[in-house]
Amino acid sequence: MNQKNLKKWQNLFIELDISLEAFGVPLKYSKFLSSLNEEELTQLADQEGFSFPQECLSTWNEEKLNLFESKTQLILPQGYQEYCQVFGSGRFGAGGFLIECPSIQYLEEDLDSNRCILEAQAMECTRELGRDESKFKQLLENAYLFGSGPEPLLFVFDLRTYSKQDRSYDIYGVLNDECGTRAISF
């Protein structure tokens, strides 16, 4: 990643009130997480008594990005690649938004878990509406789950919409609340 993009991401997250959440407990630190490297995050986790799975706090490099794309046959959006290279997986903001950069080591498990979550959302939508909501189900069948927000919000890339021009996908928030299950375009 070039220095300009790295600086862009760092500046964006320096402006936010960033906190790392582990096991549902917000942990506040004297420095912004955007200024911590992987070693510092690991030391902080050890200091707080948390143990994270291997690669949980790690950022991606070009090798990991290429390996992910070759194993999954998915082209990742440019902005998401940059995010994973700078921050890796983590929660940020007051609402506890999670952006997940899958572990290469546990890639199959991550993909299976995400697939099950999206299938459950599609079944819930069908059950609620009493009919086949084909447009919504098609979105979920062609989605890549990359994050979540405060329950019950999921963030997905619509894999049918890849743009070579800006190397991106359409992003949807899949919301399942008292109003039902629906997709919100961002």
Give the range of the structural domain holding residue 161, as residue numbers without chain letter. 107-185
Total Cβ atoms within 10 A of residue 68: 19
Say yes or no: 65 and 114 in one domain: no
Say yes or no: 171 and 146 in one domain: yes
How far apart are alpha carbons 34 and 87 in whole angstroms?
7
Model confidence at 143, pLDDT cuts 50, 70, 90, reads: very high
Say yes or no: 92 and 8 in one domain: yes
Of residues 47 and 128, the one with the higher pLDDT is 47
Q: What is the pLDDT of residues 104-119, one digit of tens each?
A: 888 888 888 888 888 8
The number of domains in the chain is 2
The torsion of the CA quartet 11, 16, 20, 26, rounded to 10 degrees, works out to: 170
Say yes or no: 43 and 111 in one domain: no
SS3 label, residue 106: coil
Residue 116 phi, psi (nearest 5)? -65, -40
Closest CA to 48 of 17, 19, 22: 22
pLDDT of 149 over the 70 cut: yes
Say yes or no: 79 and 113 in one domain: no
Q: Could you say which of 73, 99, 125 is where a domain stops?
A: 99
Say yes or no: 80 and 12 in one domain: yes
Say yes or no: 71 and 117 in one domain: no
Q: What is the pLDDT of residues 18-47, one digit of tens each?
A: 444 433 444 455 555 555 666 766 676 666
How far apart are alpha carbons 71 and 185 in whole angstroms?
28
Q: Could you say which of 99, 120, 149 is where a domain stops?
A: 99
pTM over 0.75: no
